[in-house]
């Protein structure tokens, strides 16, 4: 199943921020596209002769809803062949060759510990999928802290949607933190200060899911272990 490639049709495009775009993709040959929140798909883009240099993987940003359509959110990387192609060439009605779902960056079967979902940039995609899935299915859980690091408010993805979810979903906390915006009244600085502050009073049982750039993930791993947690409590999905 995993090695099967499917043809997806782009059904909708929306610019979410100045450098990110949301892509809705439908797979006509499937009645429903089933995946676990946190999984990704791989696109085969016509940008190189060698297969492995054409492949780009993206976390699914939507939650499984029983349809054959899903959403990706993609950042335009300067000099990035894959994202440049997707932004410049792909229109509504374009076809994309893809395979998936793949990946083991998924929630534990029982959510008996607090969850810290820590991300930067488009790393929010798998956590958006997880949060909506838990809410839709009323799955019991402990406190969930979605800590989202960006430079400026204009970089925040799905912010109003996540605030709405936090208002509706008991035990779900959305904590955006900005590293460069002076007039921001919310959390400032990097994501690390946020989870350290939340856990400084007591080191209660927790699972940490990290998604984003390598530098953030490397530092978070070191800090979480330094706080006394086991590395098995840490799950990660690396971007770039």
CATH number where 50 lies: 2.40.30.10
Distance CA 38, CA 152 (A): 25
Bridge partners (DSSP) listed for residue 118: 147, 210
For the chain, percent helix, then strand, then coil, each to nearest 5? 30, 35, 40
CA distances in angstroms from 57 to 10, 97, 143, 232, listed in the order given: 16, 12, 30, 24
Per-residue pLDDT of the chain (240 residues; tens, 9 = 90+): 446 999 999 999 999 999 999 999 999 999 999 999 999 999 999 999 998 899 999 999 999 999 999 999 999 999 999 999 999 999 999 999 999 999 999 999 999 999 999 999 999 999 999 999 999 999 999 999 999 999 999 999 999 999 999 999 999 999 999 999 999 999 999 999 999 999 998 889 999 999 998 999 999 999 999 999 999 999 998 876
Please identify, among 102, 127, 154, the residue that sits at the C-terminal boundary of a domain.
Answer: 102
Please identify, among 49, 78, 102, the residue that sits at the C-terminal boundary of a domain.
Answer: 102
Does any domain span residue 109?
no
Distance CA 129, CA 136 (A): 11
Does residue 235 share a domain with residue 119?
A: yes
Please identify, among 68, 102, 136, the residue that sits at the C-terminal boundary of a domain.
Answer: 102
Pairing of strands 206-213, 114-120: parallel
What range does the domain containing 159 cover? Answer: 114-239
Distance CA 234, CA 219 (A): 12
Distance CA 149, CA 62 (A): 20
Does residue 118 share a domain with residue 69?
A: no
DSSP for residue 146: E
Does residue 233 share a domain with residue 119?
A: yes
Question: pTM score, two decimals?
Answer: 0.96
């Amino acid at each position: 199943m995993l090695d099967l490639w499917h043809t997806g049709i782009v059904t909708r495009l929306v610019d979410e921020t100045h450098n990110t775009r949301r892509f809705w993709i439908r797979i006509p040959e499937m009645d429903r596209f089933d995946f676990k929140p946190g999984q990704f798909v791989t696109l085969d883009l016509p940008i190189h002769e060698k297969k492995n240099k054409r492949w780009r993987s993206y976390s699914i940003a939507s939650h499984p809803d029983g349809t054959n359509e899903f959403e990706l959110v993609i950042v335009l990387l300067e000099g990035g062949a894959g994202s440049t192609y997707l932004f410049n060439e792909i229109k509504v009605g374009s076809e994309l060759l893809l395979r998936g779902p793949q990946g083991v960056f998924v929630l534990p079967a029982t959510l008996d510990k607090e969850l810290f979902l820590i991300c930067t940039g488009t790393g929010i995609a798998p956590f958006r999928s997880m949060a909506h899935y838990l809410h839709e299915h009323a799955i019991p859980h402990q406190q969930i802290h979605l800590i989202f690091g960006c430079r400026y408010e204009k970089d925040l993805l799905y912010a109003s949607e996540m605030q709405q979810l936090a208002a509706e979903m008991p035990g779900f906390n959305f904590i955006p933190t900005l590293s460069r915006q002076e007039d921001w009244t919310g959390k400032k600085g990097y994501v690390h200060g946020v989870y350290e502050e939340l856990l400084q009073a007591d080191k209660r049982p927790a699972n940490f899911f990290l998604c984003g750039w390598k530098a953030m993930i490397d530092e978070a791993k070191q800090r979480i272990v330094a706080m006394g947690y086991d590395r098995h409590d840490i799950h990660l999905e690396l971007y770039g």
